[in-house]
């Protein structure tokens, strides 16, 4: 089974064979992973002496995160699923970020930096159940929601969204906010693989599976603003 995530600057690919992670790569890139994703997948398969035909399940992150990164991996895996005739499962990048931290006796914040002063974030209970659905919001608004849902007890904070706005989370949660290890701040394909294989009996339809962007891209916003500007000038 092959899993991949490129929703952030740290792209990850993993192979799961017989319930064991047999290969995993994590690469930090300041540029889009789109230029290398298929080559990286080929290299991982070659390391295990495998070909695409040996894959029995494909698991892709569906976001939120980088619009380009999410779109490229999901599109590539949808294409592979159709061409190979293999099942495809889409997994939330926020759920994958939180999953390894659940069961530690604390609620879990999973947050990615959405830029423009916002975060993509979700809250999960220590049992892994979703307490606040994935959303795009300001750090202050989200941490206020967290404090209301979890009025006492420790809260684990994971992801670049927590790191970027750590002071704002700390102001509200104070001593209840617990940092995670640096390597736990990234979405890992190995976790996607574990979550994906649990859904092998109920895969997604490649024709209808869509990214979970949670908001419009900057290009769409700028385009709309330009169109509105033209409209206003024409009506004056």
**Can you give the pLDDT of all 236 residues of the chain as single tens digits?**
999 999 999 999 999 999 999 999 998 887 666 667 888 999 999 999 999 999 999 999 999 999 999 999 999 999 999 999 999 999 999 999 999 999 999 999 999 999 999 999 999 999 999 999 999 999 999 999 999 999 999 999 999 999 999 999 999 999 999 989 999 999 999 999 999 999 999 999 999 999 999 976 555 555 555 654 544 444 33
- Domain 2-92+187-218 and domain 94-185, same fold? Reply is yes
Domain boundaries, the chain: 2-92+187-218, 94-185
- How big is the CA angle at 158 (ends 138 and 203), to the nearest 5 degrees? 95
**Rounded alpha-carbon distances, angstroms, from residue 24 to 40, 152, 188, 232:** 11, 37, 9, 53
Q: Domain 94-185 is of which CATH architecture?
A: 2-Layer Sandwich (3.30)
Residues 6+ apart with CB under 8 A from 38: 76
Contact 2, 54 (CB under 8 A): no
In this structure, which CATH number among 3.40.50.10860, 3.40.50.720, 3.40.50.10950, 3.30.420.40 belongs to the domain 2-92+187-218?
Answer: 3.30.420.40
Q: In what order do the strands lie in the sheet with 107-115?
A: 130-137, 118-124, 107-115, 155-158, 177-179
Environment class of 191 (CB within 10 Å of its CB; exposed 0-12, middle 13-18, buried 19+) = buried
Which residue is it, tokens 């929601």? 145
As a whole number of Å, the end-to-end CA separation of the chain is 59
Helices (H), ranges, 150-217: 160-164, 166-173, 189-197
């Amino acid at each position: 089974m092959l899993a991949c995530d490129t929703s952030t600057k740290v792209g990850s690919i993993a192979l799961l064979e017989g319930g064991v992670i047999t290969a995993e790569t994590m690469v930090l890139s300041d540029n889009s992973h789109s230029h290398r994703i298929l080559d990286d997948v080929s290299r991982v398969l070659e390391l295990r002496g495998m070909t695409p035909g040996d894959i029995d399940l494909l698991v892709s992150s569906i976001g939120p995160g980088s619009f380009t990164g999410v779109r490229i991996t999901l599109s590539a895996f949808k294409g592979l699923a159709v061409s190979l005739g293999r099942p495809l499962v889409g997994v939330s990048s926020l759920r994958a970020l939180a999953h390894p931290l659940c069961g530690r006796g604390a609620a879990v914040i999973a947050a990615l930096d959405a830029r423009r002063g916002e975060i993509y974030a979700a809250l999960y209970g220590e049992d892994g159940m979703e307490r606040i659905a994935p959303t795009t919001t300001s750090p202050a608004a989200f941490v206020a929601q967290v404090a209301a849902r979890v009025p006492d007890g420790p809260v684990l904070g994971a992801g670049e969204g927590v790191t970027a706005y750590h002071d704002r989370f700390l102001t509200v949660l104070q001593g209840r906010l617990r940092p995670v290890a640096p390597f736990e701040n990234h979405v890992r394909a190995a976790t996607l693989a574990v979550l994906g294989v649990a859904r092998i009996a109920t895969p997604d339809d490649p024709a209808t599976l869509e990214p979970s962007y949670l908001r419009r891209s900057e290009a769409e916003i700028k385009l709309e603003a330009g169109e509105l500007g033209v409209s206003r000038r024409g009506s004056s």
